[in-house]
Amino acid sequence: MVGNDIVDLNEAKKTSNWERPRFLNKLFSEEEQYQIKTSHNPFVMIWRLWSMKEASYKLYTQLHPSRFYNPKGFLCDIEGHKGVVSFRNFKCYVESKITSDYIISEARFEPQKLTSTIVSFNTTIYKVQSGLLKSELLDGFGKEYRINKTKFNIPVLTNAKNIHNISLTHHGNYGAYAIA
């Protein structure tokens, strides 16, 4: 199983208002808020923590199929480009990559190097990006594979014999997919 999340930093600069009152308190624990406030780049730290939480949430919902909103409940502990995220009795390992354009985080049950494939888009139309990302993923597998969704909208890659857990993400001009 795998979860991933990408944040286009230029898009986040344009569309987020992270400095408004109560924004940090709504999404981040006191310890995470301290990390943000003492970071040399609070903007990047916010979106790294967010991508770690989102990637972990996607992994968690593959194990415990459900839909809910509790970003503050996913607690991030960062060390270098790696981290651990915990939620109740759930724990996973997250690897992040930060570039000048995006932050990508990938969550797994065991520490592992990033395997997400990054895709750049020439459009910001959400449905078009989603289709392009899925096409890019399917190109490497063959015509017998399909991307289906579980009853909780969790994507899986399937053919007549196999089901593969996958994670898809896109934001701004970037997308990524990872295969378990």
CATH number of residue 124's parent domain: 3.90.470.20
Domain range for 23 = 3-179
* Rounded Cα–Cα distance for residues 118 and 174 (Å): 7
In contact, 109 and 98? CB cutoff 8 Å: no
How many structural domains is the chain composed of?
A: 1
Cut 0.85: pTM above it: yes
Tokens in use for 102? 């995006």
- The answer to whether 2 touches 54, Cβ cutoff 8 Å, is no
Helix axes 42-63, 30-38, angle to 10 degrees: 150
Q: What angle do CA 109, 113, 114 make, to 5 degrees?
A: 95
Q: What is the pLDDT along the chain (180 residues), one digit of tens a residue?
A: 999 999 999 999 999 888 877 889 999 999 999 999 999 999 999 999 999 999 999 999 999 988 899 999 999 999 988 999 999 999 999 999 999 999 999 999 999 999 999 999 999 899 999 999 999 999 988 889 999 998 888 999 999 999 999 999 999 999 999 998
